Structure 1
């Protein structure tokens, strides 16, 4: 049997709790939450499973060595001593990225360069050959993390960020990150047991992520490659077995997922992405201005969206956010409405009291995910029933 080893799943700020929950549901062991990360234990098959199945992870790292470091010579010597032949052939390729939180070192690029020098020198001195740097398709991608005096060396099991699911053929201006979209939907508590709407759907990311959550479809099935596929211990049979086991857990969905956008170009892009993701049976988009729409029927509606907040469109924010509040209040009874914004001033103009506010980041912008509950009838009537 494969031995369990420690791994670290990187995520966005505010998603640590839901990522830990995802890992627990997948079957991870010894789960510990950090800041923008969750550590856990599993075997090689579970590493494959985590990369395929986690919605809120950006990257899966496999730590292989840790040591104290006080200067650049400590770093070089410790990296040089590592058994790199276990991970890379003398004629192989590598890429290195570094993250530094230490008063000892100022530049992550310098750390990456020093690490590369140590590995290359080790191979040249022991075999007479040396690996080359390949930033696009390396045989191994190495992650160096220095926190004060502690250096951790990890293998990057994912490669490109896991938000690159592989289903997007077309994007809009400033499309929402897929991991951010999935995390918002999971934080909103949507479980696929009612209708879902994104009234400002852009290129369809939130709709696609919602459909995959509803049907329990693994988010990263369509990726072209994971970094671990180039490792020396790559096991294609095990990977296909894990992939099949995840696909066996998909489920039926009996409600509607609807998207609106007032830009015809956005609707065209959303349709293209939905088709490429093979979700046309579940997701329907229409060319509509949300402010001119109303909810049909009395069934519960769950709404998650990403309105523009001044970074993307030249609009009157005060008026725009007031229209959001008015439309929800007048036209969407029986709706739980969630949206994210980094325009914290504009929130004041919605004219409704949010029942929840969650701090997140959209790229580097501090944002809030807010919830507004639109009751059928008045709130007073709701509590008198």
Structure 2
């Protein structure tokens, strides 16, 4: 470890912990301002998210979505790209999920449908990310701008298709028909009878999300492609000097990112709603940015950060019910503070920690440099 750097454990663990602590301290002040007890608020939030089986189930259900979108953002981050198009890519991924389920749900069981659903969701998300990636790689159009625009295009396309093309005939609701049994993922309660998640829709997608996290770790840190992605993200000039094609890596990384975002739709469409409907994404793509930042772009950190945001979603719902003064908007304020400290103020504590660790190393370094008499 050179001067000005932190140990890896401090960079990946201590800084996120300090950021999170600061966010909750400021949130506690906000709670005090509105006249409520922060300690009581924390108790209810923890109980609502982790205190009983159904609460844990909903926490894990929300966390599943955040794992997928967080991994999507992280893969692009490692290539030096800022993919904020997870919303649109998940929307289009939902179309892929629905297409596979509508074609196969009456013909085959779910375990035959699932591989096609994964392929269609990933392919649809990757295809939606390909166009901004190609524009960035070959035309210099910044991926932030193009992915924002593609979010709106995807939302508008979803409305058109559900209203005019694939919506259920005779229904006033903009949604497809409900899938038959072949388009339903089993709940974890059914797979593991010893678990009791009540009516929470946590399903097999959670296992798929964890496998995806492991796959991203293998890709980024154990493959040549992952090395090329990290090299491009660290220093594009060095990547070119090493013979890496920036255009090729930009397109590949963005397509992998889009595929992961598209797979988020499996949890919502095949695992919970069992039909395609408008606004099933519900902001999960944007929360994935905060999850990736808090998780420091590492799959383990992303899983932990996803669980934290799942706790905020589920515990926040219980909190709004138990304490009417704590509205859903207040929960959004807490989430926003976590995002602020994890993202915009991520380096607030770093200079101080660098000085502390540098000072702690100096006596040892001086002693080792002193010649023996």
The question of a shared fold, defined as TM-score above 0.5 by the shorter chain, is answered with no
Task: Please report the TM-score for the alignment, with normalisation by the length of structure 1.
Answer: 0.23
Instruction: Answer 1 or 2: which has greater strand percent.
Output: 1
The higher relative CO (CA closer than 8 Å, separation ≥ 6) is in: 2
For the pair shown, the structure with the greater C-alpha radius of gyration is 1
Task: Please report the TM-score for the alignment, with normalisation by the length of structure 2.
Answer: 0.23
